[in-house]
Structure 1
Amino acid sequence: MSSSGDVSDVDEDSEVVMGTPPVVVVMGVSGTGKTTIGPLLAARLGVPYAEGDDFHPEANIAKMSAGIPLEDVDRWPWLDSIGRWAHGRAGLGGVVSCSALKRGYRDRLRSAAPGLVFVHLTGDRELVEDRLSHRRGHFMPTALLDSQFATLQPLEADEAGVSVDVSGGPEEITERAVAALRELGPAS
């Protein structure tokens, strides 16, 4: 991926040291661990975390709870809210979870907050479905997983971001994310 992130170095304790902290979007299909890894990553980066699901209007939550996939027209207000939050964190840093499955969604987020860096949590369908089936109290049913995988457009070479495999435990995944962000290097 492109190296336009702002992560500059890692000290002896493996804590990320920032020049200008980036705003990181932890993305991926439902069940990849965005809500688990996001806060862990934010803690490692020393920045606030925002749960992307909290930005959904009630109508979106009702639709997904009923097993109805969202359409783009449903997603625009949600993405715009996340974009406003990310814009407000520019120069301060932050981590937000957001599926950001399509390039167009990521472009919309970047139009609000141009310095965004994406961490794409990836895993095979079987692993993700297993994790999703064990999740309790979430509005996204396993039945919508196929539509999420069908919609997913992985990060492209010109997008600032990294892909991180979700096999293993949360701490291991977070370590891979921190290491991958470090590899991006300072902003060009």
Structure 2
Amino acid sequence: MDFYSLLIENIIIICGTFSYAVSGAFAAMQKRLDAFGVIIVAFVTAVGGGTLRDLVIGDTPVFWIKEPSYTFVIVVAALLSMFFWKNVKRFKKTLFLFDTLGLGFFTILGIQKGLAHNLDPGSCILLGTFTGCFGGIARDMLINNIPIIFRKEIYATACILGGAFYFVLDALNVENSISELLTISLIVVIRIVAVRKQLVLPRFY
């Protein structure tokens, strides 16, 4: 991996971890948890998907144990969220924004982890979906909410479509860092458009 690609990957990792930690912190503050509770929910949100991913593919110890800098980023994100929450007028919009960003960043990280373990595209997309979604599931379960993935909102579908798009770009020999950024952008756009336009998957009951 060249320096530019490594730089892009590290930026994605930091941005994804920070985004999901902030979304967890704001979700916890909505429930009026104390500072310790906010940090715990932020931590679980940020590492939940990656932990499941690593356990599924047998990559242990899991990533945040091998690299303590993740914990530092999460704690900083949680503290900043608590200190500056008064500057954010609407919890719900902030939570949605950072959750959507985290979904995009972590989906591509899961796909890249699958490729590093020589998995086929379908398994990589599934791994990316796990990585993107499970942190939000864990967050919502901790604060006693129905997880977004089980509601009517388009959530996991955005990860799957983004993952498929990534492999289309790969087949077209698009440079990897560009493919990653385009995939993240597509997932974010799908989520935003789906919520703004109230697009949902069909129900069969």
TM-score for both structures, normalised by structure 1: 0.30
Specify which structure has the bigger relative contact order, considering alpha-carbon pairs within 8 angstroms and separated by 6 or more residues.
1
Q: Compare the two structures and name the one with the higher helix fraction.
A: 2
Q: Compare the two structures and name the one with the higher strand fraction.
A: 1
